[in-house]
Structure 1
């Protein structure tokens, strides 16, 4: 798998985690997972529960994202005879998503959110997995531009396995910061509040990355980047 593809997918996952509609709610998700308040979590009690349920939550949303990757990659395989058209249309869509993320172009559909937070707490590891799956399904419109861009690119690669691998690294990009935040919530809670004021900058950078990605996909120049990143 080309290094540039992996870097793009992983970076997209990190940017999704940092998005204005995900990051502020991370403490709430952690309390849902553990059934404990932030104060109880900060006291250092039951770290094993935090680890187990965080991993379950991560597994849950990873399953959904990877299944999306399988689906879109399979469609791309069927349309392989028209791969150039698929790639160019995908590149244009990704550029549009980038403009939306930057706030230059407003697409009302992408502002819709399907929140699934009606559980009192995630009961056991299985409950955490279900909550993770609900998170991936319910919040897909929120992270739609970034996720859709990775899915479009996954559909344009030359095999289903490569497309799935893109979604694996996208999931890792969200999973690693989430897991670290769950473990270090006591130290990071103060910094999370400080990050909020930088959301417009984060959105602008995310949009710029998507636009660059869209241009590179449209012109089929991602392989050129890979030559510089082939370490």
Structure 2
């Protein structure tokens, strides 16, 4: 079992349920489906054509995000290989950056550049094409939200230390799937999802704090070079994982 892959997937899922992403998902779905928020909120089932368009758009939006993440993984691995003689220094610098982001999410410090995020202008989206949803996904990933940036940095740094380029790319691919799969599920079950968002909103600050704590723990593991020990501990504690 490659624990880093499971960690990357879990990181993507956690980011989806973060304060930066979850509250804006209904808006993104309505924007790309070409329908207003009123149509998504009204009682009853959505028309089949709107539901189908929302699902297809969500898939293309997700592919756009994953494309950017995979390219980031390739770039990070290339840089890491170019400076392989300085890998220890590279690892410590990565730990420092991740720790700063963790402190930001815990509210200990506030980093202004992490508050930068991609926003879409409201307008007529009834004629948005499938390709348009893919482009919006590219723009979203390139303009990242602060919650995406923190965990994404940790995953990119992990990818840069992998033994092969394919392992690094796979790590970012899995992270992208973890982040975007709930988006597609939300499009399929959009009515229950809208109700879930309204109930879960009060827990968003807790998710942000949990993200910060996880980033701090990961930074400590990088500094002490003990990331692999987590994998061994999991296998010893939960032998069933070895069959996965």
Q: Shared fold by TM > 0.5?
A: yes
Aligned to 2:59: 55
1:155 aligns with 2:189: no
Matched pairs, number: 230
Q: Does 1:17 align with 2:16?
A: yes
Shift of 1:167: 0.6
The alignment's C-alpha RMSD in Å is: 1.9
1:181 alignment partner in structure 2 = 186
| 1:45 is the counterpart of 2:44 | no
- What secondary structure sits across from 1:143 in the alignment? helix
Determine the C-alpha separation between the residues in 2 that align with 1:118 and 1:192: 21
Q: Deviations over 1:54-87 (max 9, x none)?
A: 1111111111111111111110111111112211
Where do residues 24-173 of structure 1 align in structure 2 (5 Å cutoff)? Answer: 24-38=23-37, 40-41=39-40, 42-46=45-49, 47-117=51-121, 120-121=124-125, 123-141=128-146, 143-173=148-178
State the alpha-carbon separation in 1 of the partners of residues 214 and 89 from structure 2. 22
Evaluate the alpha carbon distance shift between residue 212 and residue 142 of structure 1 in structure 2; reply closer, same or farther with a 3 A threshold: closer
CA contact (8 A) 1:101 1:203 kept: yes
For structure 2, the 5+ residue unaligned runs are 236-240
Hey, what's the Cα distance between the residues in 1 that align with 2:83 and 2:145?
A: 25
Q: Distance in 1 between matches of 2:118 and 2:62?
A: 19
> TM-score, normalized by length of structure 2?
0.87
Give 1 or 2 for the bigger CA radius of gyration. Answer: 2
TM-score (structure 1 length as normaliser)? 0.91
- Aligned partners of 2:109, 2:10: CA distance in 1, in Å? 23
Q: CA deviation at 1:157?
A: 2.4
Alignment of 1:176-215 (within 5 A): 176-215=181-220
